[in-house]
Amino acid sequence: MKRKLFKTALAPALTAFSLAVPLSSGSAVRAVPALIFPVVGPVSYSNDFGAPRGRLPHQGNDLMGVKKSIVVAVEAGKIKFWTSSASAGCMLYLHGRSGTMYEYIHLNNDLTMKNDNRGRCVAGTAYAKGLKDGASVAAGQPIGYLGDSGDANGIASHLHFEVHPRGGGAVSPYPYLKRARALLFAADPGAEVSLTLTGTLVATDSGAGTLDMRLTDLVASTGLRLTKLSRTITLALSPDTLALDKFGNAVSLQNRAGLGGGDRIQVATTSVPTTLASELGSALALATFSVTFLDSEPSVRPAS
């Protein structure tokens, strides 16, 4: 999206802030680290760094997504709100522990899902609820919401994301985004979260106690809802998992080694404290509480 010359006025303030950020030893000479993907949920983006944008070439990548999608810290560090740029709208800086600085631009300023422009650049609207300016954040922690503030107003909801190694000039975020790890969900560190996952059964393994599914939809106990997902996850499957057919009748998972793929299922997970592993949907980081077979009868015998 079009951007105006707003960085010059920010430079003194940003320099002072950067000097105040404690960085770990040797971080000034590190390269950009492996990142957490900055948006939770489906987005589309391209390698548009350097593309013409008015008087300036594009200094980042535009991640096009659903308004108010959760935006997260790509690495641990300190954040700085910036609310006075007409072109950037609601934005923030993340000064990562690695020494890399990241810009999050065009955050949400709408109170509804329409382009009402009635919100301000404050926590709960543009920034994550309860987040304070200057706060230290963990990798994957919610820090804001995707929007269309500034000169993106009414055009398309997206996150303009920039990467500044060692706090210097911008480089293309594209290669880092392509390698970034995408979160399954996001919540405040330590929050107790359970998920309802809908998708297709891939396989089960009785020896390992695992269930693999191809995920399409997610609902979290936090209120987060995601659709149009496409990823395979491995959950821990205990013998105590409640299994139901589409009518709510109990079925047995005793012979779960015989379960074949293809059944459409809905899995409720146990409630667990939020960790980066659980947010990433890492193998066995989430455990099944119940499995419901949504279509045809599952390939297991009825419970006695």
Cβ atoms 68, 79 nearer than 8 A? no
Q: Where are the alpha helices (DSSP H) in the chain?
A: 7-20, 174-179, 276-280
Q: What is the pTM of this model?
A: 0.84
pLDDT number for residue 80:
98
pLDDT number for residue 51:
82
| Helix (H/G/I), strand (E/B), else coil: 151 | helix
Residue 29 dihedral angles phi and psi, to the nearest 5°: -110, 5
∠ CA(154), CA(66), CA(227), 5° rounding?
155
Report the 10 Å Cβ neighbour count for 31: 10
Residue 78 dihedral angles phi and psi, to the nearest 5°: -120, 145
DSSP string covering 33-73, please? ---B-SBSS--B----TT-EETTEE--SEEEE--TT-EEE-
Q: What is the pLDDT of residues 263-295, one digit of tens each?
A: 899 999 999 999 999 999 999 999 999 999 998
Cβ atoms 256, 206 nearer than 8 A? yes
pLDDT band at 127 (very low <50, low <70, confident <90, very high): very high
pLDDT band at 254 (very low <50, low <70, confident <90, very high): low
Q: What whole-number distance in Å separates Cα of residue 163 and Cα of residue 251? A: 51
The amino acid occupying position 83 is: T
Cβ within 8 Å of residue 59, ≥6 positions away: 3, 49, 162, 170
Q: What whole-number distance in Å separates Cα of residue 45 and Cα of residue 198? A: 26
Q: In the chain, what are the domain boundaries?
A: 7-179, 192-293
Q: What's the Cα-to-Cα distance from 216 to each of 43, 81, 171, 219, 267, rounded to whole Å?
A: 14, 34, 33, 11, 12
For the cut 90, the answer to whether the pLDDT of residue 13 exceeds it is no
For the cut 50, the answer to whether the pLDDT of residue 7 exceeds it is no
pLDDT band at 30 (very low <50, low <70, confident <90, very high): low
pLDDT number for residue 52:
79
Sign of CA dihedral 207, 203, 273, 195: negative
pLDDT number for residue 246:
86
Q: Which CATH class is domain 192-293?
A: mainly beta
Mean pLDDT, rounded, of the chain: 86
Could you please state the CATH topology (level 3) that the domain comprising 7-179 is classified under.
Glucose Permease (Domain IIA) (2.70.70)
Residue 27 dihedral angles phi and psi, to the nearest 5°: -65, -25
